[in-house]
Amino acid sequence: MPAAIHTEDLTRDFGTLRALDSLDLDVGEGEIFGFLGPNGAGKSTAIRLMLDFIRPTRGRAAIHGHDCQAQSMDVRRIVGFLPGDIRLYPALTGRQTIDFFAGMRGIPVENSGALDIAHRLELRLDVKAGTYSKGNRQKLGLVLALMGGPRVLVLDEPSSGLDPLNQHALWELLRERARDGVTVFFSSHVMSEVEMVCERVGILRKGQLVATETVSQMKSKALRHLVVRFDGSPPAAEAFAMEGVRELRREQSIIEFEVQGDLDPMVKALAQHYVVDIASEQPTLEELLMSFYAREDAT
Amino acid sequence: MSGRGLVLKTLRDQRNILIGMSAGAFLITLGILALYPQVADQFAGIELPDFYDIFLGEAPIDSPEGFLAAEFFSWMPLLFIALAVIAGTAAIASEESNGTLELLMAEPVRRRDLVLRKTLALMLVFLVISAVSLAAMVLATVVVRDFELAFTRMLSATTLMLLVVWFFLGMSLLASAALPSRGSAAAVVTALIVLAYFVNLVATLVQDLSFLQNLTPFGWADYTGALLHSMPWLQALVFVGFFIVFVVGAVVSFERRDIGAATWPVIRRGPLKPSEVAPGGEPKRAS
């Protein structure tokens, strides 16, 4: 898959503080990529570097082969952007706002898809943006980002302020765009959203990318808890002495394990014994993220 | 990209200033000039002490030129300058403070074009307001008794006033593009205006310091000379030259600086203060 978004050694210092540290990243065409991290991890800095709002201390970013600094006009022609905390012109109605930004892009509103997106997000366009709720401001921001068929969508916390119904409408819109080959790059700290729509995630921690994997890969590597009930006394601890397996609790016929990584050797080991019941807890992405952070803190 | 859209949007943002000031300037100008016959009658044949020359210039107040210089050009340009500072400092910095600049800069518009189109729109605003003032003066020559003044003289003085206003507009745009907030831009420009006005005032009152008038834009703006003689082309060129320098400076500053970061890139390049940094290391947004 050719890289729609490519960064290498992308670094930005603010004075003595390093907000983004040597970000190397490739996001493929048509991919939905989640950029995860707590507030201040550097997500917005990376996005603002891609859009040339700020310049890198070193390194570079490119979108569809266009350098984000040297060819920022070319980049912005093919990128739809939603800022994290969207502010609009309060005196303009939703429709006037769309007209203004469509005019900036030189596209007729009727052909931009904006009105259809607004309809799907149940957004009224005949009222002034200054009277919009946070959710409606977000919807209008999404309309502006998605209209005109950009090849890349860069969205900073896109579901922020949306009710669950509209979140689902948004996710559906993003999946549709991805099916059409649009690359979706969005930052979030809402794990459920990332789980729902993303194919791959990057985890940012204190300006550094600590992991880039598919959601399923990450989950497979995660710690999971197994509570196994045996028929009678459980086997000796040596029966499960293998890499990535740790016994947490042993009580009458029950053993609770913590398993990290591939589950198959553990299943095969259990198959040597008479197992009455197994309870396995799948980690949520939230727990996964916390485990990443915990590991990072430990090192 | 549609440059016209950005120009129209800026004009729309300034429509209150444009409509209010155009109407106000027209009525005030006409109202002031309507008083000319009484003032001329009162001062006819009265020899004022030389001291008054400092304020009235070389034209006597009972002449149309002297009256216009003393009652209109002595203070109306200051009002226009104040509006130019308000509009100019809002042009970029206000968009940034309001958080709309990132949305705008995500569009395929060059930073240079953003500054130039906003500049063009604001130039048009003050061109219209000045033209309306001139129209009121022209009307006064028709309807006000004894107020007889050549159109070219009024045009010269009004053009000079417009150039002065554009000068301060350019300065405000430069501050707006280079500094992170409207407040800081307005504070810097206002301080410079007050300083220039004070220096000019002192230079006017103290003979030994009269050379200082050449150092301030208020000293270069010789409206009485424009009304009595002709367009002071040298001063006009100086104002145009500085305006161009300010706008180029605004473009260069805005091209080079970060958007949405509360820093003073032109003035300081050192580390951020702790108060300027958000948790996690990113700079706080301008406010």
Convert the pLDDT of each residue in A40-52 to its tens digit. Answer: 788 989 999 999 9
- How would you class B195 by CB atoms within 10 Å of its CB: exposed for 0-12, middle for 13-18, buried for 19 or more? exposed
Do residue B260 and residue A87 have CB atoms under 8 angstroms apart?
Answer: no
Chain A residues with beta carbon closer than 8 angstroms to that of B259: 48, 53-54
- A53 to chain B: nearest residue by CA? B259
Do residue A14 and residue B282 have CB atoms under 8 angstroms apart?
Answer: yes
- What is the structure's pLDDT at A134? 92
- What is the structure's pLDDT at A23? 95
Chain B residues with beta carbon closer than 8 angstroms to that of A42: 280-282
> A61: Cβ–Cβ under 8 A, 6 or more apart, which residues?
A5, A6, A7, A10, A46, A49, A50, A67, A68, A69
Phi, psi of A24 (to 5 degrees): -115, 120
- For the cut 90, the answer to whether the pLDDT of residue A78 exceeds it is yes
Q: Could you report the predicted ipTM of this complex, rounded to two decimals? A: 0.77
Amino acid letter for position A187: S
Confidence of residue A264 (pLDDT cuts 50, 70, 90): confident
**CB distance A193 to A159 below 8 Å:** yes
- What is the structure's pLDDT at A74? 94
User: Cβ of B282 under 8 Å from any chain A Cβ?
Assistant: yes
Where b means 16+ CB within 10 Å and e means fewer, A235-249 reads beeeebeeeebeeee
Do residue A40 and residue B283 have CB atoms under 8 angstroms apart?
Answer: no
Chain B residues with beta carbon closer than 8 angstroms to that of A138: none
Preferred mutation among A52, A53, A96, A144 to probe B, highest tally of B CBs within 10 A = A53
- For the cut 70, the answer to whether the pLDDT of residue A187 exceeds it is yes
SS (H, E, C) A40-57: CCCHHHHHHHHCCCCCCC
Sign of the Cα torsion A9, A12, A16, A21 reads negative
Q: What is the pLDDT of residues B183-210, one digit of tens each?
A: 888 999 999 999 999 998 888 888 888 8
- Nearest CB to B272 within list A15, A39, A42: A15
Do residue B280 and residue A19 have CB atoms under 8 angstroms apart?
Answer: yes
Per-residue pLDDT of chain B (287 residues; tens, 9 = 90+): 456 788 888 888 888 888 998 999 999 999 999 988 888 777 766 666 666 666 666 767 778 888 888 888 888 999 999 999 999 998 888 888 888 999 999 999 999 999 999 999 999 999 999 999 999 999 999 998 888 889 999 999 999 999 999 999 999 999 988 887 788 889 999 999 999 999 988 888 888 888 888 888 888 888 888 888 888 899 999 999 999 999 999 999 999 888 876 454 443 344 445 555 554 445 554 43
Chain A residues with beta carbon closer than 8 angstroms to that of B107: 76, 101, 104-105
User: Cβ of A83 under 8 Å from any chain B Cβ?
Assistant: yes
SS (H, E, C) A185-232: EEEECCHHHHHHHCCEEEEEECCEEEEEEEHHHHHHHCEEEEEEEECC
Tokens of A76: 């912005």
Q: What is the pLDDT of residues A163-183, one digit of tens each?
A: 888 889 999 999 999 999 999
Do residue B258 and residue A54 have CB atoms under 8 angstroms apart?
Answer: yes
User: Cβ of B258 under 8 Å from any chain A Cβ?
Assistant: yes
Tokens of B239: 């104002």
Cα B86 to Cα B190: distance, rounded to the nearest angstrom: 10
Pick from A155, A202, A183: nearest CA to A35: A202
User: Cβ of A189 under 8 Å from any chain B Cβ?
Assistant: no
Q: How distant, in Å, are the alpha carbons of A176, A216, A260, B129 from that of A184?
A: 11, 19, 30, 48
Confidence of residue A122 (pLDDT cuts 50, 70, 90): very high
User: Cβ of B277 under 8 Å from any chain A Cβ?
Assistant: yes
- Looking at the complex, report in whole angstroms how far the Cα of residue B257 sits from the nearest Cα belonging to chain A: 7
- What is the structure's pLDDT at A129? 93
Preferred mutation among A63, A100, A132, A151 to probe B, highest tally of B CBs within 10 A = A100
Pick from A276, A265, A221: nearest CA to A241: A265
Domains of chain A (ranges; CATH) run: 3-218 (3.40.50.300), 223-282 (3.30.70)
Phi/psi class of residue B127: alpha, beta or left (left: φ > 0; alpha: ψ in -120 to 50)? alpha
Cα B23 to Cα B31: distance, rounded to the nearest angstrom: 12
**CB distance B174 to B250 below 8 Å:** yes
Average pLDDT over residues A205-233: 83
- What is the structure's pLDDT at B266? 40
- For the cut 90, the answer to whether the pLDDT of residue A139 exceeds it is yes
- B103 to chain A: nearest residue by CA? A83
Do residue B100 and residue A55 have CB atoms under 8 angstroms apart?
Answer: no
**CB distance B127 to B19 below 8 Å:** no
- What is the structure's pLDDT at B78? 93
Cα A218 to Cα A212: distance, rounded to the nearest angstrom: 9
- Nearest CB to B281 within list A19, A89, A105: A19
- Ranges of each domain in chain B: 3-267
- Nearest CB to B107 within list A45, A76, A206: A76
User: Cβ of A236 under 8 Å from any chain B Cβ?
Assistant: no
- Looking at the complex, report in whole angstroms how far the Cα of residue B270 sits from the nearest Cα belonging to chain A: 6
Average pLDDT over residues A235-259: 88
User: Cβ of B11 under 8 Å from any chain A Cβ?
Assistant: no
Tokens of B287: 């406010």
Look at residue A58 and give its three-state secondary structure.
strand
Q: Tokens 């109306």 — which residue? A: B76
Chain B residues with beta carbon closer than 8 angstroms to that of A206: 280-281
